[in-house]
């Protein structure tokens, strides 16, 4: 959908109008389509500096809402795309049952996402059949949001997976905060911290609209905040209070969410610049002990991202040999390397700085391009042409 939603509608555009277009687009995607689209996105991620993706996977059902003969058909296509491209995968099947707080009936556009507790348990089991030969695959769960899952359902979901990552969208929009207050008398993050065992395996995606007590509570819990700064800017979500969160020692990672732009550097730069807009100051996300903002952003996002993905990160015995090479000739001012190189990569905003990427010791990006880009891109363009015709 990148580039297809930047036309003003009759009314004021918002996250909610964008979501309606998303539902229309998603209703047309079949199993082979999702594999082609996912492979293209994953190839671009590797080219842009991501070696692992946490896939918040929505599409489970056929376009008419019925389950496929294999309930994990769509998830299996995502797994195969990741295997084909060579990116690490943490798969997070989404549990989505309601359209609003208090168990409101789902909307028509949500029928491809829907599960009940029993069918979701079957889905998790069936995903295993598609991942038998995956070396470092991680399976977690994603109760979509407090809008889409009831308290009782959330408790049952957590019993299904007591060790893997748990990702949940929360407090992305002001409307969500107001609706949660009307339903429970508490703000979304406030409610979650008091009613769920939030700890280091949780990732609270967005957490944009939070107060000081909630910020402190997330940091104290050890949960990661999953920030998607480019998407949050594109949708007009708001600005997370990064300065306060870092001051409390909180963990954060970054992701591309709607994939309007796929670039690790873009996400980190947008994160820092959003904080500068908010605080009217510079070098806001430079954590204690750091002189370089680029290095602070990179290392915090790496640590938080690994935590959210359920993996250990860094070049160390037992870890995957995942690393990238930057072409210093494209950043001549950073010839000294080290912190200066990271600062230039994040803030200069120049494309194609990453020349090569290895994933599990395999050379997957050469000269700035995925080694199989031509075939992946051809399949993607064929699918896209059909979907937007």
What is the rounded radius of gyration, in angstroms, for the C-alpha atoms of the chain? 20
Write down the pLDDT at residue 12: 56
Evaluate whether 360 touches 135 at the Cβ level (below 8 Å): yes
Q: What confidence tens digit (pLDDT) does each residue in 67-114 have?
A: 999 999 999 999 999 999 999 999 999 999 999 999 999 988 899 999
pLDDT at 69: 96
Which of 41-50, 276-285, 330-339, 343-352 is predicted with the least confidence, judged by mean pLDDT? 330-339
Asked whether the domain spanning 165-313 has the same topology as the one spanning 1-155, the reply is yes
Contacts for 362 with CB less than 8 Å, ≥ 6 apart:
86
Give, as one character, the DSSP assignment of residue 181: H
Q: Give yes or no for residue 387 having a pLDDT over 90.
A: no
Q: Minimal CA–CA distance to 147: which of 97, 108, 185?
A: 97
Check residue 1 and give its pLDDT: 46
- Please tell me the distance from the alpha carbon of residue 20 to that of residue 354, in angstroms, as a whole number: 36
The CA distance from 351 to 348, in Å, is: 9
Strands 251-254 and 323-326 come out as unpaired
- pTM of the entire predicted model: 0.93
Residue 329: its pLDDT value, please? 86
pLDDT of 135 higher than 70: yes
Those residues with Cβ within 8 angstroms of residue 316's Cβ, 6 or more apart along the chain or in another chain? none
**128 confidence band (pLDDT: 50, 70, 90):** confident
Instruction: Quickly state the pLDDT bin for 293 (edges 50, 70, 90).
Output: very high
Which of 144, 167, 169, 206 is labelled catalytic?
Answer: 206
- The CATH number of 1-155, from 3.90.25.10, 3.20.20.140, 3.30.565.10, 3.90.1300.10, is 3.20.20.140
Which pLDDT belongs to residue 7? 52
Cα distance from N-terminal residue to C-terminal residue, the chain = 13
Average pLDDT, stretch 284-303?
96
CATH topology classification for 165-313 = TIM Barrel (3.20.20)
The Cα–Cα gap between 323 and 170 comes to 32
Q: Which one of 179, 257, 266, 322 is the catalytic residue? A: 257
In this prediction, residue 8 carries a pLDDT of 54
- pLDDT value at residue 333: 77
- What does the domain layout of the chain look like in residue ranges? 1-155, 165-313
- Residue 291: Cβ within 10 Å count: 10
Residue 206 annotated as catalytic: yes
Least confident of 10-19, 233-242, 265-274, 347-356: 10-19
3-state secondary structure of 233: helix
Q: Are 177 and 238 in contact (CB under 8 A)?
A: no
Tell me the mean pLDDT in the region 48-56.
97
Q: Quick check: 243 and 220 in contact, CB under 8 A?
A: no
Parallel/antiparallel/unpaired status of strands 224-227 and 88-95: unpaired
Least confident span in 1-10, 23-32, 263-272, 310-319? 1-10
Report the chain's mean pLDDT, rounded to a whole number: 93
What is the per-residue pLDDT for 386? 87
Q: Rounded to whole angstroms, how far apart are CA atoms 61 and 110?
A: 10
pLDDT at residue 11 greater than cutoff 90: no
126 has catalytic annotation: no
Report whether 229 contacts 208 (CB < 8 A).
no
Question: Residue 171: which of 129, 223, 120, 220 has the closest Cα?
Answer: 223
């Amino acid at each position: 959908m990148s580039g297809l939603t930047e036309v003003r509608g009759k009314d004021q555009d918002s996250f909610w109008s964008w979501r309606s277009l998303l539902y229309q687009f998603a209703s047309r995607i079949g199993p082979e389509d999702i594999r082609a689209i996912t492979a293209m996105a994953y190839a671009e991620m590797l080219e842009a500096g991501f070696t692992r993706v946490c896939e918040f996977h929505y599409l489970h059902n056929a376009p008419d809402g019925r389950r496929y003969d294999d309930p994990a058909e769509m998830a299996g296509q995502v797994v195969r795309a990741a295997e084909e491209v060579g990116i690490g995968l943490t798969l997070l099947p989404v549990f989505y049952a309601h359209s609003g707080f208090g168990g409101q009936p789902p909307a028509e556009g949500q029928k491809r996402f829907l599960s009940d507790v029993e069918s979701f348990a079957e889905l998790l089991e069936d995903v295993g059949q598609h991942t038998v030969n995956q070396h470092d695959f991680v399976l977690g769960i994603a109760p979509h949001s407090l809008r889409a899952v009831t308290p009782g359902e959330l408790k049952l979901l957590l019993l299904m997976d007591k060790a893997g990552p748990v990702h949940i969208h929360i407090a992305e929009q002001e409307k969500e905060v107001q609706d949660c207050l009307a339903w429970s008398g508490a703000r979304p993050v406030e409610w979650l911290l008091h009613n769920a065992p939030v700890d280091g395996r949780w990732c609270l995606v967005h957490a944009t609209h939070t107060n000081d007590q909630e910020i402190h509570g997330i940091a104290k819990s050890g949960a990661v905040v999953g920030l998607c700064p480019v998407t949050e800017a594109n949708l007009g979500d708001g600005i997370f209070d990064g300065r306060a969160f870092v001051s409390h020692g909180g963990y954060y990672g970054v992701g591309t969410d709607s994939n309007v732009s796929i670039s690790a550097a873009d996400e980190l730069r947008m994160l820092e610049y959003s904080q500068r807009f908010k605080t009217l100051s510079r070098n806001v996300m430079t954590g204690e002990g750091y002189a370089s903002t680029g290095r602070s952003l990179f290392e915090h996002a790496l640590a938080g991202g690994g935590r959210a993905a359920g993996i250990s990160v860094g070049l160390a015995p037992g870890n995957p040999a995942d690393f990238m090479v930057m072409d210093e000739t494209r950043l001549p001012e950073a010839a000294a390397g080290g912190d200066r190189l990271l600062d230039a990569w994040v803030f200069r905003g120049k494309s194609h700085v990453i020349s090569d990427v290895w994933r599990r010791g395999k050379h997957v990006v050469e000269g700035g391009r995925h080694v199989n880009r031509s075939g992946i891109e051809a399949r993607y363009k064929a699918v896209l042409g059909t979907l937007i015709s």
